[in-house]
Chains A and B, each alone.
Chain A
Amino acid sequence: SQKIEQNSEALNIQEGKTATLTCNYTNYSPAYLQWYRQDPGRGPVFLLLIRENEKEKRKERLKVTFDTTLKQSLFHITASQPADSATYLCAFRGADTGRRALTFGSGTRLQVQP
């Protein structure tokens, strides 16, 4: 069955370090994947999108990689700040035409210590 896995354990890092979050998938052929940030009690907020034919995407302190051979995406936050503390969700839309829905992982909670 199709599966998206994110590390369910919280990631704790020191301010200024690079945070790296992992998203693995099985039995998928994603057309693209997206990363969202979610704060407690709020809806997810879109951060970055990367397509299947792209290896890497950057936006300010954020970087996403997409390895279709490993079936993995990595999400990096450089020079992390306490304000980056949140849950980060990866989401896929499959390559099947007509399906618009996103399938989300369960998210990884990031805690940046000052």
Chain B
Amino acid sequence: DTGVSQDPRHKITKRGQNVTFRCDPISEHNRLYWYRQTLGQGPEFLTYFQNEAQLEKSRLLSDRFSAERPKGSFSTLEIQRTEQGDSAMYLCASSSDKNTEAFFGQGTRLTVV
């Protein structure tokens, strides 16, 4: 296992289109997080899964955003009707019950034009 994997690395989409990102966490990690990061800022928390259960959601996660982790392994983050303000780096991270540090993927950079 080489770490947290995210796909795609880059996505350019037109305003109003839907996009979906995928995250494959480290295999033995049961905790999975999505963050969003804009230029010059630190990552902002979006949502958290423990196994397949979505236990925590940020107020940043509007109705246009939905995340799933159906089998407690990979996760998807979908943004419907994208807006220019959605342009950002979307980061996925995973961790185990034993260790509190988060292991981040390389991120998906979304550009909405």
**A contact set with B: CB distance below 8 Å:** 4, 6, 8, 32, 34, 36, 41-46, 49, 89, 91, 93, 98-107
Are B101 and A103 interface neighbours, CB within 8 A?
Answer: no
Q: How far is the CB of B29 from chain A (nearest CB, A)?
A: 12
Q: How far is the CB of A45 from chain B (nearest CB, A)?
A: 7
Are A107 and B42 interface neighbours, CB within 8 A?
Answer: yes
Judged by a CB distance under 8 angstroms, whether B8 is at the interface is no
**B contact set with A: CB distance below 8 Å:** 4, 31, 33, 35, 40-45, 48, 50, 55-56, 58, 91, 93, 100-107, 109
Tell me, in angstroms, the Cα distance from A6 to B41 when the chains sit together: 10
CB neighbours of B55 from chain A (8 A) = 98, 100
Are B41 and A42 interface neighbours, CB within 8 A?
Answer: no
Q: How far is the CB of B56 from chain A (nearest CB, A)?
A: 6
Tell me, in angstroms, the Cα distance from A53 to B42 when the chains sit together: 25
Are A101 and B45 interface neighbours, CB within 8 A?
Answer: yes
CB neighbours of B91 from chain A (8 A) = 43-44
CB neighbours of A42 from chain B (8 A) = 106-107
Are B106 and A43 interface neighbours, CB within 8 A?
Answer: yes
Q: Knowing A32-B100, A43-B104 touch, does A104 contact B44 (C-beta < 8 A)?
A: yes
Look across to chain A and name the residue whose beta carbon is closest to the beta carbon of B55.
A100
Tell me, in angstroms, the Cα distance from A100 to B44 when the chains sit together: 13
Out of B31, B42, B45, B105, name the residue touching A106 (CB < 8 Å): B42
Show 26 A/B contacts (Cβ-Cβ < 8 Å), sorted by A.
A34-B100, A34-B101, A36-B104, A41-B107, A42-B106, A43-B93, A43-B105, A43-B107, A44-B91, A49-B100, A49-B101, A91-B42, A98-B56, A99-B56, A100-B31, A100-B33, A101-B33, A101-B45, A101-B48, A101-B56, A102-B43, A102-B45, A104-B42, A104-B44, A106-B41, A107-B42
